[in-house]
């Protein structure tokens, strides 16, 4: 599990952000990196899956 500081960095937020800010950043990033958006390109889909995994871990 990444450190709290790293989790904020992955989500693009400063440490101490509110729960609402964390949730909004999480939802925005998952929408941008959702693997289904890259179904036409397997290489990019793999990268998106990796990014979403990191984002999910940071959000937890």
What percent of the chain has a predicted confidence (pLDDT) above 70?
98
Residue 1: the pLDDT is 64
In this prediction the pTM is 0.89
Fold of 4-59: Helix Hairpins (1.10.287)
**How does pLDDT run across 8-37, given as a tens digit for each residue?**
999 999 999 999 999 999 999 999 999 999
Residue 60 CB coordination number (10 Å): 9
User: Cα angle at 46 between 40 and 47, to 5 degrees?
Assistant: 105
Tell me what the mean pLDDT of segment 39-55 comes to.
Answer: 97
What percent of the chain has a predicted confidence (pLDDT) above 90?
97
Domain boundaries, the chain: 4-59
Task: Judge whether residue 2 has pLDDT over 90.
Answer: no
Q: Which of 36, 58, 33 is nearest to 48 (CA)?
A: 33
């Amino acid at each position: 599990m990444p450190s709290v500081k790293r989790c904020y960095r992955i989500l693009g937020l400063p440490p101490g952000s509110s729960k609402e800010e964390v949730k909004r950043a999480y939802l925005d990033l998952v929408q941008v990196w959702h693997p289904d958006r890259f179904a036409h390109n397997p290489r990019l889909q793999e990268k998106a899956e990796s990014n979403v995994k990191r984002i999910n871990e940071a959000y937890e």
